[in-house]
Structure 1
Amino acid sequence: MNRVLALLFVLFAGVTASAQPAYPVVDPAYVIEFPRDEGSHPRFRTEWWYVTGWLETSAGSPVGFQITFFRTRPGTQEGNPSRFAAKQVLFAHAALSDPRTGKLLRGERSARAGFGLAESREGDLDVVLDEWSLRRVDGSDYRAVAIAEGFSLQLDLRASAQPLLHGKAGFSQKGPETSNASHYYSLPQLEVKGQIEISGRKEAVRGRAWLDHEWSTAFLDPQTYGWDWIGINLDDGGALMVSRMRDQHGVSRWAFGTLRTPSGTTTFEPQEIEWQPQRQWRSPRTGIEYPIEWAVRIGDRTIRLQPLMDDQESDTRGSTGTIYWEGAVTAMEEGRAIGRGYLELTGYGERLRL
Structure 2
Amino acid sequence: MLLALAAGRAGAGDDVEPAGYPPVLPGYQLAFPRDGGAHPDFRTEWWYVTGWLEDAEGAQRGFQITFFRVRTRIGEDNPSRFAPTQLILAHAAVADPAHGRLLAAERAARALSPLAGVEQGRTHAWVDGWSLAWGDGHYRAQAADGAFSFDLRLRPDGPPMLNGEDGFSRKDADPAHASHYYSRPQLVVSGTLEVGGRRVEVAGSAWLDHEWSSGLMPPGAHGWDWIGINLHDGGALMAFRMRAEDGRPLWAAGTLRGQDGAAQALDEQAVHFSPSRHWRSPRTGARYPVAWRLEVTDGREGRARAFEIVPLMDDQELDSRRSTGAVYWEGAVRLLEGGREIGRGYLEMTGYAGRLRM
Residues 125-144 of structure 1 correspond to what in structure 2 (within 5 A)? 125-139=123-137, 141-144=138-141
What is the letter of the counterpart of residue 78 of structure 2? Answer: N
Distance 1:211 1:349 in 2: 25
What are the superposed Cα offsets for residues 83-111 of structure 1, whole Å, 9 maximum, x if unpaired?
Answer: 21110001000000001111110000000
- Which structure has more relative contact order (CA 8 Å, sep 6+)? It is 2
| Contact 2:147-2:195 within 8 A present in 1 as well | yes
Residues 25-174 of structure 1 correspond to what in structure 2 (within 5 A)? 25-139=23-137, 141-174=138-171
Secondary structure at 1:68 match in 2: strand
What are the superposed Cα offsets for residues 90-143 of structure 1, whole Å, 9 maximum, x if unpaired?
Answer: 10000000011111100000000013210100000011111100000213x110
What are the superposed Cα offsets for residues 260-316 of structure 1, whole Å, 9 maximum, x if unpaired?
Answer: 113532211112211100000000100100000000111101111000001000000
| Contact 2:335-2:342 within 8 A present in 1 as well | yes
Alignment counterpart, residue 283 of structure 1, candidates 256, 281, 290: 281
What is the letter of the counterpart of residue 123 of structure 1? Answer: G
Name the residue aligned to 2:340.
336
Alignment counterpart, residue 206 of structure 2, candidates 205, 209, 225: 209
Secondary structure at 1:271 match in 2: coil
- Identity rate of aligned residues, in percent? 54
Distance 2:264 2:307 in 1: 16
| Contact 1:28-1:168 within 8 A present in 2 as well | yes
Deviates more, 1:74-83 or 1:54-63: 74-83
Q: CA deviation at 1:149?
A: 1.9
Q: CA deviation at 1:21?
A: 6.2
Deviates more, 1:263-272 or 1:81-90: 263-272
The answer to whether structure 1 residue 323 and structure 2 residue 327 are counterparts is: yes
Distance 2:108 2:328 in 1: 17
| Bigger radius of gyration among the two | 1
Name the residue aligned to 1:294.
292
Name the residue aligned to 1:311.
315
Deviates more, 1:258-267 or 1:150-159: 258-267
Distance 1:71 1:32 in 2: 19
Residues 8-23 of structure 1 correspond to what in structure 2 (within 5 A)? 22-23=20-21
Alignment counterpart, residue 351 of structure 2, candidates 335, 347, 353: 347
Name the residue aligned to 2:180.
183
Name the residue aligned to 2:255.
258
Distance 2:323 2:216 in 1: 19
Q: CA deviation at 1:78?
A: 1.4
What is the letter of the counterpart of residue 335 of structure 2? Answer: A
Distance 1:236 1:343 in 2: 20
Distance 2:326 2:136 in 1: 34
Distance 1:238 1:174 in 2: 24
What is the letter of the counterpart of residue 310 of structure 2? Answer: Q
| Contact 1:136-1:143 within 8 A present in 2 as well | yes
Distance 1:111 1:151 in 2: 21
Distance 2:113 2:236 in 1: 39
Aligned length: 334
Distance 1:77 1:48 in 2: 22
Q: Mind listing any 5+ residue stretches in structure 2 that lack a counterpart?
A: 1-17, 298-303
Q: Mind listing any 5+ residue stretches in structure 1 that lack a counterpart?
A: 1-19
Q: CA deviation at 1:202?
A: 0.5
Distance 2:269 2:113 in 1: 48
| Contact 2:74-2:83 within 8 A present in 1 as well | no
Distance 1:321 1:190 in 2: 30
Secondary structure at 1:329 match in 2: strand
Q: What TM-score, normalized to structure 1? A: 0.93
| Contact 1:296-1:304 within 8 A present in 2 as well | yes
Shift of the 83–21 alpha-carbon distance from structure 1 to 2, 3 Å rule, reads: farther
Distance 1:115 1:31 in 2: 30
Q: What TM-score, normalized to structure 2? A: 0.92
Distance 1:227 1:148 in 2: 28
Secondary structure at 1:37 match in 2: helix
